Structure 1
């Protein structure tokens, strides 16, 4: 059995925290430039704004890490209950259903949404999941494709439900960008921080 050592978990935690902070800071500054929002009165206001961005990104990274470890437990249980092939099919179906729910149900069934932003978000998550799955397969083996795709789609969509209910596109971008960055980093890093099984 493979286990994460405390030292490696500590490394994963802090590096994911930094990635969340950096990606949230970048997303916040881009949104600020695009929307032309806050007019800063001085350097102190700008530094405070940057501090808020970094702190928010760190909170999102912690949330992403909770989702990641929840996925690891779910994957462990799924492999215990089902055969490996059946569990992979289940993950693939759930990933597709999550994408369809995000794009079609909220877009065409929900009258409160125009649909463009959800479609863009769904396509963005899909493309990111495909790219991350490709790099995961290149680093490990072909069997890692479906679990990675499932994590990057279904788990990411579940993690974004709270911000999606707000219905503000800027808030969605500000949360989803660091969330995807943290999730991609964690799943791509996992095989490197697992302790090899002793012979």
Structure 2
């Protein structure tokens, strides 16, 4: 990946984060009647929209940090393990991340709202499978497990901070924006790293 392609990924991911934050924030503002901000006049609405866009940009930068951390982990994993063994390791790590989110936080962390964690884990897994399906269609079947690992385990790790706050609306906003950014990055990755002269033998582990 050269500098031009990296800059393209950086700026477009910022746009995805800002757009995702804006859409999710407006939906939450319109549907939640108990914990919404009181907006009076055009100035308040413009300020609120600006806050959503700026916050979405910040979340997208956080997402990009997680994405490049994943690429480093993936590079080291393929160097330490065989290709087949690394796939199994990613499956185990994915299962552990889901277990921690959906069950372990209740017993170890004393988190009481187990239902929302369970729903969040299911949503992340379903979206991860959907993204992996499209990734495999665009590249090949070897992209299934790495994509599910990234979209599930890495997204859960990135969401841990907001989960500690314990506010469902904040969790939905941050997790939704992160999922949008992560999905965009993993789906466009093969286009940024593939050689111009060849489009064969591409997979997410590139």
TM-score, length of structure 1 as denominator length: 0.95
SS at match of 2:15: helix
Superposition deviation, residue 35 in structure 1: 1.3
Equivalent pair of 1:108/1:115 in contact (CA under 8 Å):
no
Equivalent pair of 1:107/1:118 in contact (CA under 8 Å):
no
Superposition deviation, residue 100 in structure 1: 1.0
TM-score, length of structure 2 as denominator length: 0.91
Superposition deviation, residue 107 in structure 1: 3.5
Superposition deviation, residue 39 in structure 1: 2.0
Superposition deviation, residue 108 in structure 1: 5.1
Q: 1:29-65 CA distances to partner (integer Å, 9 max, x unpaired)?
A: 1111111312212101100000000000000000000
Q: Which residue is equivalent to 2:62?
A: 63
Q: 1:138-168 CA distances to partner (integer Å, 9 max, x unpaired)?
A: 0111111111010000000000110011111
Q: Which residue is equivalent to 2:116?
A: 117
Superposition deviation, residue 110 in structure 1: 4.4
SS at match of 2:164: helix
Superposition deviation, residue 109 in structure 1: 5.0
CA distance in 2, matches of 1:79, 1:112: 35
What are the within-5 Å matches in structure 2 for residues 1-199 of structure 1? 4-36=1-33, 37-107=36-106, 110-196=109-195
SS at match of 1:160: helix
Unaligned runs of 5+ in 1: none
Superposition deviation, residue 112 in structure 1: 3.5
Size of the alignment, in residue pairs?
Answer: 196
CA distance in 2, matches of 1:66, 1:110: 26
CA distance in 1, matches of 2:20, 2:164: 22
CA distance in 1, matches of 2:135, 2:51: 33
Q: Which structure carries more relative contact order (alpha carbon 8 Å, separation 6+)?
A: 1
**Segments ≥4 residues shifted beyond 6 Å:** none
